[in-house]
Structures are given as C-alpha cells and as structure tokens.
Structure 1
Amino acid sequence: MEFFQEWDDTETETETTTTTTTVKKTSTKTTTTTMTTPAKLYGKDLSQYDDIDVDELLNKLTAEEVNILAKEVDPDDTFLPPSQRTSYECDKDPTGPLNRKQLIEHINKEALETPDRPEAQPYVAGVVRGKKWIPPPPSQTIQDADEKIAVDLGDEYEQALSTATQEEIIDLAAILGFHSMMNQDQYHASLLNKGQPVGMGWDGITKASKPKIFPVDPPNMTDTEESIRRVEDDDSKLIDLNWNNIKNIGDEKFDRLFAALANNTHLETLSLVNTGLHDRHAEKLAQVVEQNNTLRVLNVETNFISPQGVVRLVKALLKKCSIEEFRATNQRSQVLGNKIEMEITQLIEKNPTILRLGLHLEYNDARHRIATHLQRNIDTKRREVRARYQITLGKLGEKLKIVQTA
C-alpha cells in the first residue's frame, strides 16, 4: 500500500489568540493535519506587516538611522562574526601598531600609581571586621539522620558481646563481612590470629595506619662534562655511568657521549632514565650499540622513544650480542601494539645473550615466548659459568698436586 500526503493550499483565517486546524481526507484514507500559529513579537501580531515593502522602508532611512538599526542585532547569532554582534564601536583612529611591551609597562605603571581604596576599618590581626558569618543550624531531618540508632539485641547477645575479647570481636566482624571496616593491620592480624596492641583492636576501627615517610631522593649530581671526558679518555675506573633524571641535557652532549662510547672498552653499564631521549637519540645510540663490545646493561626508561625506536634498539642488540640487560619501559607510547610486540619477540628469540628485558608487553603470546627464551639464555649462561668453575677447580687441583709432589 502506498501513502500520499497532500497539504491544504486553501487560505485559512486566523485570529490573534486562536489557532486554526485544517483536516483533509485524501483518496487513500490518510489524514493530513496542518497547524497555523500566527507569529507574535511582544504580544503583538506580526501578520499585519506582511504586505509592507521592507526595501522601501529602508530607502527612506537616513545614514544615521541605518547605522542605529544595524547595531540592533542578536548577540547569539552564530552566522555573524563576534565583532559585529556587539553594539560598541570605537571611533578613534589607531595611534600606531600594537606594542605589547609598552602596553604591559603602561598597565603596570597605572597599577602602581593608582592609590588603593581607603578602608573604612583598618586591618588588625585577630580582629574580625564586619559581621562574621555563622552557618545556619542543620534541619531537623539531618539531625534525626545523624542520631545514633539504638538496636535492642536482647539480653543473651548483649551479655555475649560485653564479655567478648577484642580478638573475638575482630573474628566476628570478618565472619559477618565487616572486614572493610578494619584497617590493613587489623585485617592481617585477624587472619594470622595475632594479638592486637593497645589502640589497634576494635576501638581503633576507624583509625588509619600512619603512612611511612620516605626521604626524597637526592638530585643526580653527576657532572656531565666530566663523565663525557672520562668516556672519551677510556678511563678504566669508569664502569658505571648514571645520568638518570638529569634535566636539560643538550643534543651536543648526547652526540659527544655516543661518539665516545663507540671506542670505549671499559664502560659496562649505561643508565639514561628520564633524560628526554627522542627517536633521533635512539638512532645514534643504536649505532653505538652496534659498535661497542663491552656494554652489558642499557637502561633508557621513561623517555620519549616511539615503538619504532624501541624496535631499532632491540635490533641493534643482535650486532655484537654483548648486552645482557635492556630496559625501555614507560615511553611516549605506553601501548606498543601487536605488530611491534611480535617484531620485538622475533628479534629477542634470535639473541643468544640477552638475560633481562624491561618492556611492557600487552599480549600473552609475546610475553610467554620472550620469557621462555630468556629462561633458556639464563640456563645456558649458568651452564657456562659452572663449566668454567669446574675447569678452574681442575686447574687448581693440578697445581696443588704439583706443589705437593715438589
């Protein structure tokens, strides 16, 4: 069945205070309803102005009247720019281009030269000026809700609770599901069946345990220039270099450090945590890792390295296979993605020397495969150390026999 809708084009007579409804039935037995409501402004009917020629009225206005009429606009009209929605217009000519520095100096000067408003009553410490605000008393409903509700438990339960010890009351609270009302010390003590000290039993149910205050870590006072010079000189005593949490390290210092690391033969641990490393630094660091043979631990956590930069560093570990621990968590992108994690997993599985990896992996497959491979490398390392230890013991035994026979 098809439906056709027709609108009544006939003229409808309306009054100011009434609404006329016209109903017409079509051949398909559908009903069309047309409602006509006269437009009003401040309670007056605007239909009497329909036959007036607006252009003719505008031609009769003077320039001043047209300007006044143009200012009467709707401030909420989004079709007009904000500069045209306001009735304020500045008739003064500009004195020149805007000078922000001079404007701020003028504002500060006016603020300093303008005297403060005199106070009717001078300020005196401890004296309240004016009327002190007193909060109104709470309503009767709130007072009734705050009152304690007395529950009659009966003589038997009252006697049992009055003679119960603190340990028994804590166990009863755990049975009834009130363990969330106890603090952590009380809860663990009830589980371990330990006695409660004074103030930590049922009477101390609303008392929180005091937080432990740990001293603030001192700032890293490592001299970057001195450490770079020692790396360049291949200082044999410099085995661990820690630049953690040092702010505002320039690119020039990073370039010098990475260039010196390429030929260094003594540095084993490099920590660059929270130093503002980006992908450009990660690329240069990866090139250094591919050339250095002595570096064992590399830590670049809490920086701005992208997932592709992390993959580049992991790939660089395969060149010399000397690094045993690599950490790169808490970077710019917390989630690496399935593709990146699988690529890192394949690279780690090809590395026979990596023993520890600090990366946040989201997928179980990547975590399981990497954990299995790291455990395999650890077992291999343990067997090698044990073999070397047995060889050393054998050599010492031979030397002892030689000494004894001599």
Structure 2
Amino acid sequence: MDKLYGKDISMYDDIDVEDLLAKLTTEEINILAKEVDPDDSFLPPSQRCSYDCDKEPTGPLNRKLLIEYINKKAIETPDLPELKPFVAGTVRGKKWVPPAPPAREQEAEEKIAVDLGEEYEQALCEATQDEIIDLAAILGFHSMMNQDQYHASLLNKGQPLGLGWDGITKASKPKVFPMEPPNMTDPEESIQSVKKDENKYVELNWNNIKSISDEKFENLFTALGENTHLETIKLANTGMSDRHADKLAEALEKNKSMRVVNVETNMISPLGIVRLIKSLLKNKSVEEFRAANQRSQVLGNKIEMEITQLVEKNGNLVRLGLHLEYNDARQRIAAHLQKNIDHTRKMRMGQLPRNQMFSGDLGENERTV
C-alpha cells in the first residue's frame, strides 16, 4: 500500500490532476513550479533551475569584478563554528557500519562445497606449504604466489627460504646478455659468390646491413636468377623498398633452388608483398617466406584475402611469417600450410611418389605435375 508522509494516498486515485491545476492561480502555479524535480528529463534545461530573480540588472556583466566580489565575500564571511570540536583519533557523529549480507548470499556461500574424495582430501591436508605452492604453479594459479616461487616451482629448484604465502619478492639483478655482433658479411664478396654459383655457398645473410646501394641489390638479384645452389637468403632490416622487392620477385621466378626467403623489417608496401608471394607460385621451391614488420603495419582486408588466395594455390609453402589482422585469412592460411606439411611428411616417409605434388587449388586432392 502506497503512503505519503504516513498517510494512505489511495484515496486520491480518482482525483483529476488537470482539474486541480485549472483551479490554481498564477501565484500558486509559480510556487508549484519552484517545487518541481530539477532532474525531470521531460522539462527543458532552462526550466529545471529553481532560481528566480525579479530584480532588474544594474549594468553590463563584468566577469572580473564579479569574481573579485565573490572572493572578497568568501574571505570576509566567517566560518561556521563546529558543533563538536575536532579531536584526533576520535569519531564525530555516527560511525557507518556496513549492513550484513542478505540471507540468500549467506546460504549460497554455505552450500558451496567441493567433494575431492578421501584420497585427495588426505593428500592436501598432509601437504606442506612448499608442495601446495608447487601445485599452484603447475595449475597456473599465478596470483597465489610471487615470481620467485613460481619460477622455482617450474625449474624444480625448491622454494626459497623464508618465503611463504605472504613472502615478498626482492628485486633480482637482470641478466646481462652480450650485444649482438654486427653483421660482417661483405656484400661485394657475397655477390661474386652468388654469380659464380659456388657449391658450398648455400646461405646469404645480409641482415642489418644498411649501407647496401641499389646497384648492389640489382647485381645480387640478377645473379640470384641464375644461381642453382643458394637455398637461404636473409635480407631483414636492409632498407628494401618496392623497387627492390620487384627485382627480387623476378629473380625468384627464375630461381629453382631457393628454400627460405626473409625480407622482414623493411619498407615494402602491401602490394610489394603480394608481388613476392605471387612469384612463389612460379618458383615451386620456397618452403618458408617471412615478410613481417614492414612500412605498413596493416595490410587491409583486400590485400589479406589476395594473399590468402595465393597461398592456397601454393603447394610447397609450409611456413609464412606475416602479420594478418583478420581471423578468416589466418585460419585459411594455417589450414592450408598444415595440409602442405602433411603432404611433405607423406612424401618423406615414402607414402607418396616423389613426382607427385600437392595442388592447393584442388583442396585435399592431389595430382601429378
């Protein structure tokens, strides 16, 4: 039963509010308007403020003088005396006590119980604190232990002395690793080795060499097209651009011995990456291609779908190092690479003839090439 100020309001259900408002005078309506809820969303913002001033303005608004006047009044107005003086360590007024949780929550907490069985119950009851910490690390409960305890459990070194559930991990000194030595490969010498098609020269590593000119790139890719022994070429962080990628793609289309191509951390555009992956269809020997961390971090849906279609037509590629944003492209490429890996394993184990290759455009079927 609804009540207002302790009185039953059901007796006012049949009263028409419109008739009551029609009987009010202008002064009574103004008084009623001041009592309206200012948070009523049905009223415009200009009518939600109860401030009402009938005085005429004495002059134009001067914001600076108004602020000075307000500050002066605030300084001159004395503070209201405290009803109860402040004493350090004492609580003035009524102290807030949090209410008790509802009975339903208490009953639910009491009913929650896990029956582990007598064997597990006995094992956990007799387990030491170090054994429980090791168990928590195995189950992945990282929040139950500190970093030293977690790593000690994984490495089976035994728990540090003096560290329990409330132990504090001290800062450990970071391991100092030696700086990676600079790449001392001579570009001119390596280009000559590729031109001569030396039998023992199977890997070219130009990683992190930034002083390579366009002429050296062009000479290398020209010699690469005729080489028959080089299997791995690493050109990460060498400043390659689209014009270099186009020359490399032309060389890969002619080369028949390359197995690993790495052009990561360069300035190749998404269209340049598509051009390189398209060249692998004519190469038919590259098994690993890496081109992540380029100038454009996001390839875009159109480029990723085009790369996916090219990879699905490639029956030799088993590893692709490329950041893909869309799940569809990642899943389709991962599924196709797995098929290529399975097919390669069957050929290695002698379950398929050597002259039979997997054709990506036929799904799981196979044809003789």
Range of TM-score over shorter length: 0.5 to 0.7
Listed as ranges, the matches of 1:380-395 within 5 Å are 380-387=343-350
In the alignment, structure 1 residue 307 sits paired with structure 2 residue 270: yes
The residue type equivalent to 2:215 in the other structure is: E
The percentage of aligned residue pairs carrying the same residue is 68
Q: C-alpha deviations, 1:248-271, integer Å up to 9, x for none?
A: 211111111111111111111000
How far the C-alpha of 1:214 sits from its partner, in A, is 2.0
In the alignment, structure 1 residue 322 sits paired with structure 2 residue 285: yes
The match for 1:254 among 181, 195, 217 is: 217
In 1: Cα distance, 2:234 partner to 2:268 partner: 15
Contact 1:169-1:202 within 8 A present in 2 as well: no
How far the C-alpha of 1:212 sits from its partner, in A, is 2.6
Aligned to 2:331: 368
Contact 1:325-1:355 within 8 A present in 2 as well: yes
Q: C-alpha deviations, 1:25-79, integer Å up to 9, x for none?
A: xxxxxxxx99684699x99xxxxxxxxxxxxxxxxxxxxxxxxxxxxxxxxxxxx
The match for 1:359 among 306, 310, 322 is: 322
The match for 2:257 among 289, 294, 299 is: 294
How far the C-alpha of 1:194 sits from its partner, in A, is 7.5
Give me the TM-score of the superposition, normalised by structure 1: 0.51
In 1: Cα distance, 2:245 partner to 2:348 partner: 33
Any unmatched runs of 5+ in structure 1? 1-32, 44-140, 142-164, 392-406
In 1: Cα distance, 2:213 partner to 2:144 partner: 53
Give me the TM-score of the superposition, normalised by structure 2: 0.56
The residue type equivalent to 1:312 in the other structure is: R
Contact 2:144-2:165 within 8 A present in 1 as well: no
Provide the aligned length of Structure 1 versus Structure 2.
238
In 2: Cα distance, 1:193 partner to 1:234 partner: 52
Any unmatched runs of 5+ in structure 2? 1-54, 66-87, 89-127, 355-369
In 1: Cα distance, 2:298 partner to 2:191 partner: 34
Would the alpha carbon gap of residues 250 and 193 (structure 1) be closer, same or farther in structure 2, given more than 3 Å must change?
Answer: closer
Would the alpha carbon gap of residues 252 and 169 (structure 1) be closer, same or farther in structure 2, given more than 3 Å must change?
Answer: same
SS in 2 for 1:187: helix
How far the C-alpha of 1:208 sits from its partner, in A, is 2.7
Would the alpha carbon gap of residues 200 and 275 (structure 1) be closer, same or farther in structure 2, given more than 3 Å must change?
Answer: farther
In 2: Cα distance, 1:191 partner to 1:228 partner: 48
Would the alpha carbon gap of residues 190 and 348 (structure 1) be closer, same or farther in structure 2, given more than 3 Å must change?
Answer: closer
Listed as ranges, the matches of 1:5-404 within 5 Å are 37=59, 167=130, 182-187=145-150, 189=152, 195-198=158-161, 201=164, 205-387=168-350
How far the C-alpha of 1:195 sits from its partner, in A, is 4.0
Aligned to 2:13: none
Would the alpha carbon gap of residues 283 and 199 (structure 1) be closer, same or farther in structure 2, given more than 3 Å must change?
Answer: farther
Q: C-alpha deviations, 1:206-240, integer Å up to 9, x for none?
A: 40343232222111110111001111111111100
Q: C-alpha deviations, 1:130-154, integer Å up to 9, x for none?
A: xxxxxxxxxxx9xxxxxxxxxxxxx
In 2: Cα distance, 1:304 partner to 1:379 partner: 34
In 1: Cα distance, 2:151 partner to 2:201 partner: 47
How far the C-alpha of 1:193 sits from its partner, in A, is 9.5
In 1: Cα distance, 2:309 partner to 2:353 partner: 34
Contact 2:147-2:169 within 8 A present in 1 as well: no
How far the C-alpha of 1:333 sits from its partner, in A, is 1.3
Contact 2:225-2:254 within 8 A present in 1 as well: yes
In 2: Cα distance, 1:228 partner to 1:192 partner: 47
Would the alpha carbon gap of residues 193 and 347 (structure 1) be closer, same or farther in structure 2, given more than 3 Å must change?
Answer: closer
In 1: Cα distance, 2:331 partner to 2:308 partner: 10
The residue type equivalent to 1:282 in the other structure is: A
Structure with more relative contact order (C-alpha pairs < 8 Å, separation 6 or more): 2
The residue type equivalent to 1:216 in the other structure is: M
Question: Which is greater in Rg?
Answer: 1
Would the alpha carbon gap of residues 39 and 166 (structure 1) be closer, same or farther in structure 2, given more than 3 Å must change?
Answer: closer
In 2: Cα distance, 1:169 partner to 1:356 partner: 42
SS in 1 for 2:308: helix
Q: C-alpha deviations, 1:176-206, integer Å up to 9, x for none?
A: xx96595312135579998423365568614
SS in 1 for 2:349: helix
Would the alpha carbon gap of residues 255 and 190 (structure 1) be closer, same or farther in structure 2, given more than 3 Å must change?
Answer: closer
Would the alpha carbon gap of residues 349 and 193 (structure 1) be closer, same or farther in structure 2, given more than 3 Å must change?
Answer: closer
